[in-house]
Amino acid sequence: MLDVLKIKEDFPVLKTAPHGKKLIYFDNAATTQKPTYVIDALSKYYKEYNANVYRSPHYLSALSTEAYEEAKDAVRRFINAKSSESIVFTRNATESINLVAYTWGLKHIGEGDVIVLTIAEHHSNILPWQMVAEKKGAKLKYVHLDENSRLDLDELKSILKDEKVKLVALQHSSNVLGIINPVYEIVNLSHENGAKVLIDGAQSIPNMKIDVEKLGCDFYAFSGHKMMGPMGIGVLYIKEDLLDDIPPFLSGGEMIDEVFEDHSTFAPSPLKFEAGTPNVEGAYGLMKAIEYVEKIGLDNILKHEQELTEYALEKLSKIDYVKLYGPKDAKDRTGIISFNVENVHPHDVATILDQDGIAVRSGHHCCQPLMRYLGVPATVRASFYVYNDKSEVDAFVDGLKDVRKWFR
Ligand SMILES: Cc1ncc(COP(=O)(O)O)c(C=O)c1O
């Protein structure tokens, strides 16, 4: 059992009171709040370490280079990658996916090849592949959902069988429906059919133990800010055997071996993919977030999210004017619930809840193809994390009843 009250104490922002009401932060899928442990580490970095990395022989530069490399090794260990050469620091999951599209994608995907996505993908895992498809004459194919909002694996199997699939790019779990995809099975199926697999781990890194070695995926992308780390730091894992066959993404300082007037050679990975001064304090802060998350335990975090989801789904399903989306069983999902209130626009729902200090998101959640598939322009989304509790869910459900009263 997690001591949620004690955990809450670690998050200064949760003590604030928007509109004079105690903050209930249910917008964790957009970004999570940061514990003092991470906030203080960022301040410590600037007070004691700050210098550019890999460039100068002085003491501070050595300290910050060491911190940067230590952070990379912490990420490597966190996702169980074999070598830190496979860990590339980026700005966020979006940049990580773009890196793969612009480098591996443009090099290896050709005319008539197929890129498989799911209908529930975030725009960050759609637009880069639309770019590759357009430039290379490749095709995009989408896997849809079954009647319980689970991914239709039969559809995936038939696409893999019938088409020349080069890449399957999918989310580990959905930022709208909370669905956890069976990524182990999908990696195996895809590899059996000669396709590489990119996993968008933006919503799974905060609450699931990721083991890229066991999983066997080719690429795994995520952002630090969704797991209590700072904004502006993301990660791309690239499987070791692909590293030499992927050209650089951006070019300039730090990523070179030698530069001549008319050509250049490149540093080995990961520096080859990290042009310019990196986000050292972000990497340092991410390492501290990993330490914090591991102290709580990822299994505990997922269990807690699922308990809150089950509790909230049970309450919400009893309200006849609330329409819920996603699997009915909380075990199939993370702590994300999307819903609509009959005859009330999602933005109005979110605005009224905000007056009660309850932060939820409304809109298309960067998933317009999924919204069209669900037949709605938008939803309201409540997303829970480790510092949320059942009393907050109660307040949220009461708030929804008030929303309805307002609009009657
Ligand atoms: C499933 C999913 N993929 C990708 C992203 C993009 O993350 P970022 O904006 O940190 O790049 C998000 C962000 O909400 C997401 O939920």
Q: Which of 127, 231, 256, 366 is catalytic?
A: 366
What's the Cα-to-Cα distance from 198 to each of 166, 212, 235, rounded to whole Å?
11, 11, 13
Name the domain boundary from 248, 263, 294.
Answer: 294
Q: Are residues 233 and 374 in the same domain?
A: no
Predicted confidence (pLDDT) per residue in 180-193, tens digit: 999 999 999 999 99
Classify the C-alpha dihedral 370-372-374-380 as positive or negative: positive
Q: For residue 185, how far is its CA from the centre of ligand 1 (angstroms)?
A: 23
Do residues 282 and 358 both lie within one domain? no
CATH number at residue 227: 3.40.640.10
Return the best residue to mutate from 32, 92, 123, 124 for the ligand 1 pocket (most ligand atoms within 8 A of CB). 124
Give yes or no: residues 77 and 93 share one domain: yes
Q: What's the domain count of the chain? A: 2
Clarify whether residues 169 and 287 are in a common domain: yes
Let me know: does 212 contact 220? Beta carbons within 8 Å: yes
Q: Is the CB–ligand 1 distance for residue 124 below 6 Å?
A: yes
The reply to whether 139 and 233 lie within a common domain is yes
Look at residues 267, 294, 321 and tell me which one is the last residue of a structural domain. Answer: 294
CB of 27 within 6 A of ligand 1: the answer is: no
Residue 104 lies in a domain: yes
Whether residue 19 is contained in a domain is answered as no
Tens digit of each residue's pLDDT, the chain (408 residues): 899 999 999 999 999 999 999 999 999 999 999 999 999 999 999 999 999 999 899 999 999 999 999 999 999 999 999 999 999 999 999 999 999 999 999 999 999 999 999 999 999 999 999 999 999 999 999 999 998 889 999 999 999 999 999 999 999 999 999 999 999 999 999 999 999 999 999 999 999 999 999 999 999 999 999 999 999 999 999 999 999 999 999 999 989 999 999 999 999 999 999 999 999 999 999 999 999 999 999 999 999 999 999 999 999 999 999 999 999 899 999 999 999 999 999 999 999 999 999 999 999 999 999 999 999 999 999 999 999 999 999 999 999 998 988 887
Indicate whether 279 and 344 sit together in one domain.
no
Task: For residue 7, give the DSSP letter.
Answer: H
pLDDT at 408: 73
pLDDT of residue 195: 98
Is 14 inside a domain boundary?
no
Residue 232 Cα to ligand 1 middle (Å): 12
Are residues 271 and 310 part of one domain? no
Q: Domain check: are 247 and 184 in the same one?
A: yes
In a domain, 32, yes or no: no
**H helix or E strand, kind and range, residue 127:** helix 127-136
Does any domain span residue 31? no
* Alpha carbon separation from 129 to 105, 170, 267 (Å, rounded): 8, 11, 27
Structure tokens at 238: 């690239």
Is residue 16 a part of any domain in this protein? no
Task: Report the CATH number that the domain containing residue 372 is assigned in CATH.
Answer: 3.90.1150.10
d(CA 311, CA 394): 9
User: Using CA atoms, how far apart are residues 112 and 163, in angstroms rounded to an integer?
Assistant: 9
pLDDT at 407: 81
Q: Give pLDDT tens digits for 91-115.
A: 999 999 999 999 999 999 999 999 9
* % of the chain exceeding 90 in pLDDT: 97
Distance CA 41, CA 280 (A): 12
- Whether residue 22 lies inside any domain: the answer is no
Domain of 352, in residue numbers: 297-406
Q: Are residues 209 and 71 in the same domain?
A: yes
> Could you tell me where the beta strands, DSSP code E, fall in 243-335?
256-259, 264-266, 322-325
- Residue 163: CB atoms within 10 A of its CB come to 17
Tokens of 310: 């089950």
Q: What confidence score (pLDDT) does residue 352 get?
A: 95
Among 324, 300, 335, smallest CA distance to 30 is for: 335
Q: How many CA atoms lie within 13 A of 25 on its CB side?
A: 19
Q: What is the DSSP string of 49-111?
A: I-S-SSS--SHHHHHHHHHHHHHHHHHHHHTT-S-GGGEEEESSHHHHHHHHIIIIIHHH--T
Q: Are residues 206 and 258 in the same domain?
A: yes
Give residue 94 CA to ligand 1 midpoint distance, Å: 6
Domain boundary pick from 252, 277, 294? 294
Q: Are residues 201 and 318 in the same domain?
A: no
**Looking at residue 384, what is its pLDDT?**
98
**Residue 217 is among the residues annotated as catalytic for this protein:** no
Is 195 contained in some domain?
yes
Same domain, 106 and 135: yes
Q: What residues form DSSP beta bridges with 379?
A: 363
What is the full DSSP assignment across 239-259? -GGGGGGS--SS-STTSEEEE
